[in-house]
């Protein structure tokens, strides 16, 4: 699989499912309200989903690994969590290795998250995708939960089985303000995932110019390679003239060549793009 396909595979998904939108006019010092708990969607046959269906839960009783504690945490019912926790292991996993803390974090139930952590719920358990509660909260855009987890010792630099950090997941899902928060907390913006993509490559592939500029202003390397392509090459290939101009304004070298053996420059990807523009012709 080509490097570009791998980048796009990571960022694929219906943008309509993304709850938080970003605007090219968003200020870099933006501080929107913290997310409220995610609405639980009923899909039928006893299956519920949260946050763009990033987690599903069978509450019908057929899945015997889903306990009363899982259900209470999922629904954000703190009183019930307190009641059933007396008879249950606080870290009990379901068949996908999701603990009650995972479910509460994904759905944005911060009071439940705080209570579970206060009662020594583990924050380092990974679900079947290698995601800790912090990683899942990042994927779902739950800023208030992330603040709670980090304040109680959550690992800002943890990664899932694909090597994606909280910042990768925030950028992928176009969560601008969450990305600001993670960067202010000291997130490593140069950390590559297993495909060699740093958050800047991901932000470029999802064509979020304000997140791209945020990362560049924090010091992300404008010429860093994602395996065989620079951010400028990615922007040119997807046909985004605004991003191409932004990278050039930040000093991107359009003479750099990819490393896939074809010695292709950024100029080549402009020629192959479905959107024709001539920014590189004039530099």
Please write the tens of the pLDDT for every residue from 117-150. 999 999 999 999 999 999 999 999 999 999 999 9
| Cβ–Cβ under 8 Å, residues 82 and 115 | yes
Q: Is residue 171 part of a domain?
A: yes
Q: What is the mean pLDDT of the chain?
A: 82
275 has a pLDDT exceeding 50:
no
Which position has the higher pLDDT, 187 or 3?
Answer: 187
Q: Is residue 12 part of a domain?
A: no
- Tens-digit pLDDT profile for residues 11-38: 444 334 433 333 322 333 333 334 456 6
For 97: left if phi > 0, alpha if psi spans -120 to 50, otherwise beta; the answer is left
Say what the pLDDT of residue 73 is: 96
Q: List the CATH number of the domain containing 167.
A: 1.25.40.20
Q: Is residue 5 part of a domain?
A: no
| Cβ–Cβ under 8 Å, residues 170 and 145 | no
Cα angle 36, 42, 46; round to 5: 130
Which position has the higher pLDDT, 26 or 204?
Answer: 204
Say what the pLDDT of residue 55 is: 85
- Owning domain of residue 151: 34-192
Q: Quick one: pLDDT band at residue 42, thresholds 50, 70, 90?
A: low
List Cβ neighbours of 31 (8 Å cut-off, separation of 6 or more). 177, 180
56 has a pLDDT exceeding 90:
no
Q: Is residue 266 part of a domain?
A: no
Q: Is residue 168 part of a domain?
A: yes
Q: Is residue 92 part of a domain?
A: yes
104 has a pLDDT exceeding 80:
yes
- Long-range pairs of 250-254 with CB within 8 A, sequence gap ≥ 24: 250/216, 250/222, 251/222, 251/223, 252/222, 252/223, 253/223, 254/280, 254/283
Alpha carbon separation from 255 to 263, 264, 268 (Å, rounded): 10, 9, 10
Q: Quick one: pLDDT band at residue 183, thresholds 50, 70, 90?
A: very high
Q: Is residue 18 part of a domain?
A: no
| Cβ–Cβ under 8 Å, residues 149 and 134 | yes
Nearest Cα neighbor of 243 from 271, 206, 268 is 206
Q: Is residue 235 part of a domain?
A: no
């Amino acid at each position: 699989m080509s490097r570009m396909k791998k980048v796009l595979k990571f960022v694929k998904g219906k943008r309509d499912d993304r709850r938080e939108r970003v605007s090219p006019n968003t200020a870099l010092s933006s501080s929107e309200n913290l997310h409220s708990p995610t609405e639980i969607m009923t899909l039928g046959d006893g299956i519920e989903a949260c946050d763009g269906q990033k987690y599903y839960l069978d509450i019908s009783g057929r899945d015997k690994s889903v306990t009363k504690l899982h259900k209470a945490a999922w629904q954000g019912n703190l009183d019930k969590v307190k009641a059933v926790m007396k008879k249950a292991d606080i870290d009990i996993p379901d068949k996908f290795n999701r603990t009650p803390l995972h479910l509460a974090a994904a759905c944005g139930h911060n009071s439940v998250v705080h209570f579970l952590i206060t009662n020594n719920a583990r924050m380092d358990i990974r679900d079947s995708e290698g995601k800790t509660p912090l990683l899942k909260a990042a994927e779902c855009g739950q800023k208030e939960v992330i603040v709670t987890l980090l304040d109680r010792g959550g690992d800002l630099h943890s990664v899932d089985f694909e090597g994606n950090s909280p910042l990768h997941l925030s950028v992928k899902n176009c969560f601008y303000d969450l990305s600001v928060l993670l960067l202010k907390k000291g997130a490593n913006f140069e950390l590559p995932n297993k495909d060699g993509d740093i958050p800047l490559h991901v932000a470029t592939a999802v064509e979020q110019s304000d997140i791209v500029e945020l990362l560049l202003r924090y010091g992300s390397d404008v010429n860093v390679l994602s395996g065989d392509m620079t951010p400028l090459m990615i922007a040119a290939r997807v046909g985004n003239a605004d991003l191409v101009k932004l990278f050039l304004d930040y000093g991107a070298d359009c003479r750099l060549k990819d490393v896939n053996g074809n010695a292709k420059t950024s100029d080549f990807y402009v020629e192959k793009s479905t959107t024709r523009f001539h920014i590189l012709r004039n530099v």
